[in-house]
Structure 1
Amino acid sequence: MVRFHQFCLILMIICSSFWANAQTRLSKIDSLNVALEKSASPHKKVAVYNQLAKVYAKQTDSSQTVFYVQKALQLAEQNNYLKGKMNAHYWLAKLYKGLSYDSLAKATLFKALFTAEQLKDTNVNSNIHNVLGGIYKNQGHYTQALKSYQKALKLKEQLKDDFGVAANYNNMANVYSNQGNFPMSLDHYQKALNIWEQTNHLKEVGVACNNIGLLYINQRDYTQAQVYLMRSLEIKKRFKQEKGIANVYGNLAKMNMISQNYNVAFQYYQQSLNIYRKLNNQYGMARSLHNIGWCYYELTKYKSAYQKFIASLAIKHKLQNKISTASTEMMIGKVYYRLKEHTKAVKYLDKAMKVFQETGYLDKIVASAGTLKEVYKAQGDYQKAYQVFEIYHQAADSVVNKEKIRKIARIESAFKFQQQQDSLKRQQQQKLNALEIKRRTTRAWLYTLLLGVVGLLLGVGALLSRQKHRYKQNAQVLELKAIQQQLLNEQLQRKEIEGQILKEQLQVDQEEQRKVRHHIEEKDHELTKQALYHIRHQQGLELTLREIRELIKTTKEVVVSNRLKEVVKRIKKELSQGESWENFTQTFEMAHPNFYKRLRQRFPDLTEYDLKLCALLRLGFESRELASILNITLDSAKKARFRLRKKLQLSEQDLSSFMRDV
């Protein structure tokens, strides 16, 4: 009952906030409607339609945006007004992007791009490439995203738009950051920051500092992150940018979440939430409530976490953002799992996982499927657990492959960055050489002049010449030492970069090894379950066989006795069939690839029966368990082990440990 009252209260707050927000927008929409009535020219009407579409697109009101876009397109087609068509397609694409319909957004943007190229509108052309870059980045197509941003950058440079140039550097830095390419990302953020500082765009300086702070958070350099984030916070407070202040608070909270300072993170998230509520910013409120729920979840306060997630989900349903909604639903499912409410956990986790599968968010698929698999296991539904595990396994493999591609791209980018640095060093060296030649030429001319002076002034001129020569030599020595020191510093910096790259590569390799070990452990567990099931199956058949034989001895009817003997034959046939062994062998080879191949290469005399025995020993089964699984006596199992040890030429080493080392 208390939970229901809390939900109603949250719903009332959300509805009132939407009403207040709608009231603030009415004046702009009304003014545009008045302008529409007064517009006599078709071109002006198209422009007003596009302005209305722009307003509704920013509100992600799909029905109204599409309505006014269609009006603009229809009127523009009738009057062959290309610019009006271009703007209509552009704002429709912005709507699709806001709703995460990336494919529709790209298709619509290409229509706008075609018209912009016809009109040779460089500014709109660059804006379209900028939006395309954002879509490719969200989809994880980082190479295409960089190409789009580079096209936008060149167009902005042609327009001599310093602000646009810096913005594209900032966007490219975001892509490099997603690729894990720290040197290139930091380089582009610094370029954007330098331009904005030179052009006195202090608000954008705050944006760049915030981004650089996030970059240092991802590098676990919290000292530098704190410096840049606090500078960004200072600028945003100076200009009273409430939304920006809330965003920086969120990033400071993220830094403390990663370093497990959950109480500090909670305070920052709460400050962020208070500002978003004041601004009636629905996206910010939903995000902050989700993050506060995350804090509670990490602090194992699951009921408090549930309340925050539910409040966040109520807002996200209004905003119609599929990915964000699914993320919160996944966390609600995780909370239900911790509270052991497994049926509810399945409902939320399964729904979230399907959304992530549709949109291709691999890391989210891994997170949701991993928990859903555990829920099914807790329910005892091992079939569904295995099905979800396959989804988890495929997504995890894709994430590993994607990480490998990112690692290669990171290494290539770092290599290119190093090449650029080497090129700059060579240019600096060439300049130094040119200066040295110039100095030598000047020095030769001075020597000639001094010789004339010596001839005129005799000893006075010679004395002055020696003093001047000594002074120049000292200066050159100092200058050469400074150059050598500079070159030494640059070499040290290059070594540090190479060390960082090797360190990152080692961390990735270690993570891959951990995942492989985890995968093998899971497969071993599954194989053990299959083998134990086989034992129980064999024991059940043997018990049934003994009971039937007793019945044959006691029965006096010949027909019944013959019928029971046929049943005995079928049971013996079932005990001798190897279909379960085929399933066991397939699963075993998935967990331990090349195990049989390596044994055959080292010991070609091993039979199929010997290989089965080797696999069971690899899983750690003792002689009594081997006898049950292979349907032989305990003495036969011991003799089989002895013969196998003889074939393997083992004297003292334990068979099971030997198999684990193969």
Structure 2
Amino acid sequence: MIFCTKKNRLFFVLFAIFLSQNLHARELSQYSSTDLISTIESIIIKENKPKKDTVELKKRLAYLEKSSSKASSILYHALLANGFSVYFDKINKRSEFYYLKSIEESKKLNDPSLIIWTQLNYSKYLYFYCQIDKLIPIVLKTMEESNKIEASEMILPEETFKFFGWIMSTVEDNSAIVYYKKSMQYMEKPSSEYAGVLNAIGNCYFRNKDLTNAMRYFNQSEAIALKIGDSVRYAKILGDKALVYEKKRNLKDAVSFLKQDISYSQKFKIDKNEMYASILLAKILLKLKNTFETEKILERAGKIASSKSYYRSSLKEIIELKLSILNGENPGKELLLRRQLKQIEEYLLKTNGNTVLQRSYWLIQKKKYENDTNKIRLELEQGEKIKIILILISVLTIVLSLITYSYLNKKLHTKKIKLENDRLLFEKKLNDASSDINTYAEYLKNKNKQISILENELEEIKNSSSIYQEEEKIKLLEILNSHLMTDENWNAFKREFIKQHGDFYNTVMENFPELKESNLKIIMLQKLDYNNYEISSLLGVTVDAIKKSKQRLKKKLGDRYELLFEIIDYK
């Protein structure tokens, strides 16, 4: 009996897991395009720090693999690639396969947001393992593609722009600060990420030898790190501030800050930061001729640098410092170090050494130059063609411009008189004692017709080649603005509306006291059977603005939104 109970429990647990995965698999495919990006972002953030257990990761992501949504499949392969990256902790074929597969699938789907994110996801992997030479062309392409869409259409725009900042900073391009500041617009403040970007901007200014701005940004970053209790970020900032003090030749304070940085790094087991801080401290201690303490620090830093293949540039610095300490006094040890140094230099020439960085910088500058050159060439070609055409038609242009101006001016004057007469006629009707909401409805319908006529006229003038088009456009815009719903007209309309639909108005206000005047305008006009286009024309806004206003109202009212429209339809 006990055995059967256990079997039943096991069956129900397995069934629940299966059912949960199937429900998840259906979930992503059912999201609207508006919510899809935020849904994808939440999944990415949840899987931001995968563990080394790839089997468990596959189980956790199974609902994405089983989903019929193509976006789910792309996400599955990209996140699985990240998982294998953490598992192997180096460049590996499994990660490469899934990264490239996710990029390929996103291109087939032709979704710009997913194309940019999958390429960025792959780029982070290449950056982390110092594959700079391979990375730069992909990043340049991704940057170019990101310029073609709005930031609101990107997946995690803050991460995207921050990464572009990293790359430009790595190759010492001044555009890094621009990207960093752009990423801050989409970050939560205060947060560790925000503090990190401030710190990164400080480093950019430091490289440009602007110590004042560098320290200003380091201090801002430090204030946020202390406020939110981010000790890890605080440790890194201390190390960066030490660089400023060193440049100012205040070596004592620089040593103090770096020792604090190392202490925090050891406490929180941040090996990479400890290694960097140790190298900086060793360089300063050598200036102070404290070789004993320098050797001790380099020994520990060397163990960290030897533990990862992608720390070899740091290991190169450590060996060079050790050689400077030996200064030819121990030929045997020096020979071993120089052999080791040669091997590392050969490796770095193919990955992230100065040669690669210089070539990467050259690629970026070359891309900029090509873009500028192509732009200038096209402008020159177009200029030559235009010059020939202008010589041939210059006389015709003058004559046609005069004729067009005369025609448009006469047409505009006639139309202005007609529209003004119509407006005065209807406003006279409104001032009559017999005016009611039906008169207003008729008045507003007429306004919509007039607005439509004016908009068509504006479009014609916009497409006209007349040199006087801007003058005519200004005149038409003045007339158009006079036909839009003014505050005075709205108040008069509202009074008449309440007279005829008082019960409806009172019901709405009793049940929805939080409604703003802008909401009431849309609700009252909708009660009179005006569609979104007609409402937008009267209020002088776009149809999208009306739709978004309704969406915000729906979000604000929640379940009561349906009740509001029941009242509109039936009250």
Structure with more helix by fraction: 1
Rg larger in 1 or in 2?
A: 1
| TM-score normalised according to structure 1 size | 0.41
- The higher relative CO (CA closer than 8 Å, separation ≥ 6) is in 2
| TM-score normalised according to structure 2 size | 0.47
